[in-house]
Structure 1
Amino acid sequence: MNVTSRVRAGAVVGAVALALGAFAAPAAIADPPATEYRILAGVGSDTTQDVVNALGNVVLNASGSKIIASYDATGSASITTRSGCAISRPNGSSAGITALATDVNDTTKDCIDFARSSRGAKTTGTLLTWIPFAKDAVSVAVRTDSALYASGAQDLTTAQLKAIYQCTTTTLNGVTLTPLLPQTGSGTRSFFLEKLGLTDAQVGSCVSQSVQENNGLALDTAGDIAPYSVAQYIAQVSGTVTDIHGATDLIKVNGTAPYNASTFTLNTAFSFNRDVYNVVPTAKLTDATISSTFVGSTSKVCAATSTITAYGFGTLGSNCGTTTQQGLN
């Protein structure tokens, strides 16, 4: 079934949603309810899953149908995005993008319409288009009860972080460092290593590389240090999403704080800023539903600025919804 056909199929769901007062902005949920097959199904990034879940509750079509079905990065082993579409759950930006590309290349499937991504395109090509919708940043988290958080260690340079993740710097403030990285396929991992000037192959042997991203509870020893989405941190600490920041705080990088302390908002001057994206098949950019939902600064997603900022992200203004970035994965 193509996207236009699913618009009509979603009208019944929309009528029920209107009866329940869907024009309110309910809190984000995890996967949509079973068998509630919305028009556009998306998978991928852990970093943006909560904000896109929330957008799924407030982005409606003219009939009042919820357009976006966003499936979390973690949970059950498989998900069913629409009738006859049971697929393995993609965990992370790269896994979501790969699943979308596979779906596009297999003409017998039509199970995924977009992928959430916290990184840009890696390879050239025209198969997929990365559509930015919000601003985030990546800092590093440490435990506040650790000497790593003591005066003088709350500000690290790019060079220092690179040495830590190459394992050439192994102690700081008298603490043995235990650097952590998110799982392979994480957009946060990919972006962070790129900012440090490292490839996966250059990561040192002292680094634990299997931590689920943006989970401060995983930092359970004094030397732990890990990259962390600033927007996710803000949303967790403020109680907008489940708070799993644990005993951590985000430190400065290159002398700049990742968030504004007075307003607890993203610091757009932070050196490790990034756009976050919804990735769609390039061939479907002209589809009326995909276009009205994602494309352009007046699209339904770009217009939902209060939802975007409520989840710790910054807005992009006229850069929201651009379609200039394309690639294969």
Structure 2
Amino acid sequence: MKLKVLVAGVIAAAFLTTAAVAGAVPNPPEPDPTGSGWDDVNDLIVGSGSDTTYAFMQGFERIYNQANGCDTNNSTGSATVGQCLTGSAQGQTDARGNWDHDYAVSKYPTGSGAGVKELQDGKVDYARSSSAPAGAGGGQSDVNFWAYGKDGIVVVTFGNRTTGNLTTAQLASIWNCSVTDWGTLTTGTPNGQTIQPWGMNAASGTKRTFQGFLGLADVNAGACVKKLDNGIFPFENDVKQLNTDPGFQANNAIWWMSYAEFKAFAYKRQDAKVWQVNGVDASNASVSNGSYPFTRFIWHVTKKVDATADAATENVLGASGGKGGAVRELTEFLCKGTGSHSNNLFSGLTNYQELSAIYTATGFVRLPVADRTNGICKFQAGVA
């Protein structure tokens, strides 16, 4: 185990020297006198789960993998090539990046629920989730949830259907099949236009969150809810699969998707158009302040033994080495504020600035200060 406190004094001195030269206010070292997840060995860690957060996490992992760390043994043929130099050979003093040069990678999406289950079963090292912790009875006492951003869920239609406003009650009546005609819902629309609500893959966090907003146990359960021609429900956020399905009626269909994905990826949204919900438009501002009715957090999920909160700080406690330690440090990197990041080795920007660009590129909103409990994240422990 490498103690962060051992390098803290050297780091502080280096910061003071830099500040004196550049006239800048120094960033403090990470306040972890009890140790870290570093062990001077590169570990490969793998994440799985949400489609909605897949692109963000790929961008985040790239920045983490690029982050500065220890000086490495680069001797060809050495048994420890690529690992951290130790003792007096180690010249690096900045412990704010990815010290071990661990490398993180995300598997192709399977859905939030499937990813969390893979984590619990030991098949992956961390998970992506676009739905909140399950709560009592959900069987999640072994995992922790770290919200790092916000998203909305938007209701969309296609073709020549004119958008307007739908209430939560109206949306519930569409997906429970008690209202089946567009003429019943929108003023000036003639009767005889049968609403075609589409379902979503069962493991999707976007499905689970949407049905919670509507007060339905299963948004796929209604007899009127459509599957694809192959007999399965469509994967979330990708309109292309609807457009190519023989049963898709563009002018009558209605679906829902991530607002972040809608904004960021035109190829996935195709010709989808967004409706108001309860008279409120989805926007970055309405998602950030929660005034948009269908607002949610997006989550990074870890095993409790690997990463857990250190009271109300940005510091992360947990495993002291191996893959668990690597997950601990990955989580702390995700949740720490701007003053605790070093510069990206490729751009010269701070890694916090690099991550800000990824939020923008993938459509998500950073957590506002009021929602944060640990650094820039909101921490929530899973329960049995």
> TM-score w.r.t. structure 1 length?
0.72
User: Which of 301, 313, 329 is residue 292 of structure 1 equivalent to?
Assistant: 329
Q: 1:123 to 1:194 in 2, by over 3 A?
A: same
Displacement of 1:190: 0.2
Counterpart position of 2:132 = 120
Is the counterpart of residue 312 in structure 1 residue 363 in structure 2? yes
Residue 211 of structure 2 is matched in structure 1 by: 193
Deviations 1:207-266 (CA, angstroms, capped at 9, x unpaired): 1250111012215422111111000011113xxxxx121211121111111136xx9x96
Q: Partners in 2 of 1:274 and 1:201 — Cα distance?
A: 17
Partner of 1:226: 255
Match for 1:274: what amino acid?
R
- Counterpart of 2:52 in structure 1 is 47
Q: In the alignment, which residue of structure 2 is the partner of 1:321?
A: 377
Indicate the residue corresponding to 1:67 in structure 2. 103
Contact 2:130 2:205 in 1 (8 A): yes
1:146 is aligned to 2:163: no
Indicate conservation of the 8 Å contact 1:127/1:281, yes or no.
Answer: yes
Unaligned runs of 5+ residues in structure 1 are: 11-38, 74-90, 104-110, 238-242
Specify which of 160, 164, 167 is matched with residue 157 of structure 1: 167
1:205 aligned to 2:223?
yes
C-alpha distance in 2, partners of 1:201/1:315? Answer: 29
SS of residue in 2 equivalent to 1:9: coil
Q: Taking structure 1 as reference, are residues 297 and 273 closer, same or farther at Cα in structure 2, changes over 3 Å only?
A: farther
Inter-partner Cα distance in structure 1 for 2:198 and 2:153: 14
CA distance in 1, matches of 2:300, 2:226: 29
Answer yes or no: is the 8 Å Cα contact 1:44–1:96 preserved in 2.
yes
TM superposition outliers: structure 1 runs of 4+ over 6 Å: 299-303
How far 1:302 moved relative to its partner? 7.2
User: Matched residues in 2 for 1:156 and 1:43: separation?
Assistant: 34
Provide the rounded CA distance (Å) in 2 between the counterparts of 1:54 and 1:202.
32
**Contact (CA 8 Å) 1:136, 1:276: kept in 2 or not?**
yes
Shift of 1:322: 3.1
Q: Displacement of 1:292 after TM fit?
A: 3.4
Q: CA deviation at 1:169?
A: 0.6
Give 1:77's aligned residue.
none
CA distance in 2, matches of 1:137, 1:167: 24
Cα displacement string for residues 33-52 of structure 1 (whole angstroms, at most 9, x for unaligned residues): xxxxxx32100001110111
Alpha-carbon displacement from aligned partner over 1:101-121 (angstroms, at most 9, x marks no partner)? 111xxxxxxx41111000011
In the TM superposition, residue 267 of structure 1 has moved relative to its aligned partner by 6.5
From 91, 114, 117, give the equivalent of 1:98.
117
For 1:68 and 1:176, locate their aligned partners in 2 and report how far apart those are by CA, in whole Å: 47
1:264-279 correspondence to structure 2 within 5 Å: 268=289, 269-279=291-301
Residue of structure 1 equivalent to 2:72: none
Q: CA deviation at 1:284?
A: 0.7
Q: Which letter maps to 1:214?
A: N
TM-score (normalizing by structure 2): 0.62
Tell me if 1:132 matches 2:169. Answer: no
Q: 1:324: Cα distance to partner? A: 2.6
Instruction: Tell me which residue corresponds to 1:184.
Output: 202
Instruction: Answer whether contact 1:55 1:68 (CA < 8 A) is retained.
Output: no
- Alignment match, 2:273: 249
Higher strand share: 1
Q: Provide the C-alpha distance between the structure 1 equivalents of 2:118 and 2:278, rounded to a whole number of angstroms.
A: 36
Q: C-alpha separation between the residues in 1 aligned to 2:38 and 2:46?
A: 13
Cα deviation, 1:144-192, whole Å, max 9, x if unaligned, reads x333x2xxx5210000000000000101134211101211010000000
Q: Aligned to 1:8, what secondary structure does the other structure show?
A: coil
CA contact (8 A) 1:137 1:273 kept: yes
CA contact (8 A) 2:169 2:214 kept: yes
Q: Is the 8 A contact 1:136 1:230 kept in 2?
A: yes
Q: Quick one: structure 1 residues 117 and 57, their matched pair in 2 at CA, closer, same or farther if it must change by over 3 Å?
A: same
Larger gyration radius, structure 1 or structure 2 = 2
**Equivalent-residue separation in structure 2 for 1:135 and 1:44 (angstroms):** 17
Shift of 1:67: 3.3
